[in-house]
Chain A
């Protein structure tokens, strides 16, 4: 008989065990939720409850409007203060899911007489939904393996840095709720596929609709599910369950997704959605052929049926291709096309290429964001191959596709994180199952033992005995590998178990410590407020951004127009509440190129542009004093490139480099560079800080020329404490009708002449 490595109490009834297991599961999930929420609160504890980054400021502004004025005002909102003088139709150009969610929570809490401020709801929405994400990952992994793998997956996704980076408290962006919706939609899809139930298909469609309303990345689901269905068909695993699940999801989901104004008719008009339509048609054809086949036995009829089915499939496909060529169906948009043709964006759409989140990923990012999960991930995928049910095929496809996309764009690491957590949980859970199970294998010589399915231990799996696929010892080996064998399986002795369990426990502890360290150091910065450690170890808060935005808010008239690079548009609108020319929505490339041209041209050329757009203030970011490397001089080449795209005759990038091709800001800088508005604004009066010695730009590490730039058409209005934000006021036309440069020179001359002593004339006698 099979012996046990360690003794378990045998007098506990099965019911008690089941109840205790359920209780432990619920308690574990509650603790995981608590861990997920609390590990995202570092920023709130260190700084304050503030909205982070750039994009969330716009979402916050929209939510404020929704909470204050109601849903219809939000839905029909036209914002004249953005993209002056064009304005922006906000209602039709955003994904309203995030704001609607916050609005609903706000209204519910207020109905319960809990007066929570809208800002706190927005800041804490992401941590709250991360708990829901952990739960939905648990449900998803439960379908793959069992509850213990589910709990591991929930724990992993609760604290893994790859997901935390976009869902800390204060990161009020679409991804905050999108990952929860992604995992839950996938769970509903897998459940629909397993059961063949139209209820789960409808539920998947409803949550897909919510996802479409929440995030532009819904196209991932739109292509992932058809890919899965197509793979199942190609593998010969077509079944009625697949038909029911996919058809109910597609029919209801597509119609629902068209309700979002921003999506509109895209699901029937663009290439990104054609795969789903194609698979839908293919499924109908195959289902029909299966139906007819069951009624008819004639061989000839069957072969003809297959031929006509394939013919119709090819016809449908060529129909779609033909419509694409004719232009009825739009080709892949730039954002998605650049994921395949990686050189495309840099050449044709520099705005997409310039965003820092769109850069490719180097391997340290993978390790930093996923730690031990990154090497448990392939092991989990191999285990999926060994079981290979329908849902495992989904995880395999998801893992390959997500690895590619995460490698191409840093931002898409977020879509890789859930599948890594799930696979790693499956792998680790299998390992723990093997080594915790106390049953030892029977030491028979040359005789195969029975499968060790003991009724007392519910964590055991019954080993099915199936003949190995290949013959010979290699097949035997492979069969053992897949678990499809009746050879004895188990671990001898306590020491083996202890080694592996101790190892695993140590790795998990290291994982938790790593995640906590990464979250607190790297991903909890609001980026609106910076922190640095002084020489004496004290934390020094750098609050220049807010200082400058609030100066704007309090010292300028309400209808002031502020020009800055598009990165800061949302923040200016949110914190300073002033009109901006361009912001992070980047929907109008020519307008952004106009701003770029103004920044990179000499003052005489930029001034008419500024006056034409009624610009009152110009705002730039300059990090040269304290070493803040995300400033506008570092972004300057992108401004030049984007402007060059629209005015290639007037702006050429090589003119801003030295003769030897270097990008310099000191004496050796090219003339075009020194005369550009951005250069002058950044280094105006910079010399005065260094008290006679030569100024040093700490970011570029270069010494500035002795003579600083002179500004004629604009004058300095405000510079923040650490010189990070500099605001300049645009001078109105001269009262005497002179050119402003001449007027300024005249002023300078007059100032100089005052210092000379008056000439004494002797009166002629």
Chain B
């Protein structure tokens, strides 16, 4: 299922070590460390804040999904609304991150960072309107 893959994929610290386990652990450890170093150095504090929010949303989504699978999926609409709000907010935030990232400037010629934030706000409001309606 897509959520599982999204949840697993977006955490660089959990999935990649397990994937690299098959080759050389030393090289894997080095690669992960260099990844973290590169990430720490090249990312601005603004983006790191957004990334922290993304991680939080992912954890919330995973918890809800685990609850649904292990305990119960009744009421299903409430689960979908909650899970949908996590996924939707995650996606909107990720979009904001890519639009605000200075490295992507030439891709988003018509969308300034301020406009990106306004879009993000509008999208989140609409999303939560539907979430609230669907919660029952």
Given contact pairs A198-B92, A198-B116, A285-B9, A296 touches B27 in the complex (Cβ within 8 A):
no
A311 to B19, CA, bound (A): 10
Let me know if B98 is at the binding interface, CB within 8 A: yes
Q: How far is the CB of A204 from chain B (nearest CB, A)?
A: 11
Interface string of A186-213 (1 = CB under 8 A from B): 0000000001111101100110000000
Contact of A295 among B19, B38, B108 (CB under 8 A): B38
> Is the CB–CB distance between A258 and B80 below 8 Å?
yes
Contacts of A198 in B (CB 8 A): 92, 95-96, 99, 116, 119-120, 122-123
| Chain A contacts for B31, CB-based, 8 A | 296, 298, 300-301
Cα distance A308–B130 in the bound complex, in angstroms: 35
> B87: nearest residue on chain A (CB-CB)?
A251
Main secondary structure of the interface of A (DSSP, over half): helix
Q: Does B2 contact A (CB under 8 A)?
A: yes
Q: A247 contacts the other chain (Cβ, under 8 Å)?
A: yes
CA of A256 to CA of B3 in the docked complex: distance in angstroms? 18
Contact B126 A205 (CB under 8 A): yes
| Chain B proximity mask over A228-256: 1 for CB below 8 Å, otherwise 0 | 00000000000111011001101110111
Contact pick for A240, options B91, B104, B119, B133, CB 8 Å: B104
Instruction: Choose from A197, A250, A281 the contact partner of B110 (Cβ within 8 Å).
Output: A197
Tell me how many residue pairs across A and B have CB atoms closer than 8 Å.
152
Nearest CB in chain A: distance from B83 CB, A: 10
In the bound complex, how far is the Cα of B103 from the Cα of A241, in angstroms? 13
Pairwise interchain contact A312-B131, C-beta atoms closer than 8 A: no
Q: A205-B126, A244-B99, A280-B2 are in contact. Are A251 and B133 (CB under 8 A)?
A: no
Complex interface residues of chain B between 85 and 100 (CB less than 8 A to chain A): 85, 87-88, 91-92, 94-96, 98-99
B98 touches A296 (CB 8 A): no
Binds B, one of A94-102, A159-167, A313-321: A313-321
Please provide the chain A residues from 257 to 292 with a CB less than 8 Å away from any CB of chain B in the complex: 258-259, 265, 268, 277-278, 280-281, 284-285, 287-289, 292
The residue among A243, A247, A289 with the most chain B CB atoms within 10 A of its own CB is A247
Q: How far is the CA of A715 from the CA of B15 in the complex (A)?
A: 79
CB distance from B111 to the nearest CB of A (A): 5
Kindly supply a per-residue 1/0 record for chain A positions 52-91, scoring 1 wherever the CB is within 8 Å of any chain B CB and 0 otherwise.
Answer: 0000000000000000000000000000000000000000
User: Is B107 within 8 A of A252, CB to CB?
Assistant: no
Q: Which residue of B lies closest to A265 (CB)?
A: B76
Known interface pairs A196-B99, A284-B2; A252-B130 also in contact (CB < 8 Å): yes
In A292-332, the 8 Å CB interface with B consists of: 292, 294-296, 298, 300-301, 304-305, 307-309, 311-313, 315-316, 319-320
In the bound complex, do residue A315 and residue B5 qualify as a contact, i.e. CB atoms below 8 Å apart?
Answer: yes
What is the total number of residues of chain A having a CB less than 8 Å from a CB of chain B?
A: 54
- The answer to whether B19 and A202 have CB atoms under 8 Å apart is no
| Residues 107-135 of B at the A interface (beta carbon under 8 Å) | 107-108, 110-111, 115-116, 118-120, 122-123, 126-127, 130-131, 133-134
Q: Give the distance to chain A from B125, nearest Cβ to Cβ, in Å.
A: 9
Check: B14 CB closer than 8 A to any chain A CB.
Answer: no
17 sampled A-B residue pairs with Cβ under 8 A = A197-B115, A206-B126, A240-B107, A241-B107, A243-B98, A255-B81, A255-B127, A255-B130, A265-B77, A281-B3, A289-B9, A295-B39, A296-B34, A296-B38, A301-B35, A316-B1, A319-B1
Question: Interface of B with A (CB < 8 Å)?
Answer: 1-6, 8-10, 12, 15-16, 19-20, 23, 27, 31, 34-35, 38-39, 42, 76-77, 80-81, 84-85, 87-88, 91-92, 94-96, 98-99, 103-104, 107-108, 110-111, 115-116, 118-120, 122-123, 126-127, 130-131, 133-134
Q: Knowing that A195-B110, A198-B95, A277-B2 are A-B contacts, what are 4 other residue pairs whose CB atoms are under 8 Å apart, sorted by A's residue number?
A: A198-B122, A250-B91, A255-B85, A255-B134
Enumerate the 8 nearest inter-chain pairs by beta-carbon distance, A residue then B residue, closest first. A281-B2, A251-B88, A247-B91, A198-B119, A244-B95, A308-B19, A199-B119, A255-B84
Residues on A lying within 8 angstroms of B by beta carbon are 195-199, 201-202, 205-206, 239-241, 243-244, 247-248, 250-252, 254-256, 258-259, 265, 268, 277-278, 280-281, 284-285, 287-289, 292, 294-296, 298, 300-301, 304-305, 307-309, 311-313, 315-316, 319-320
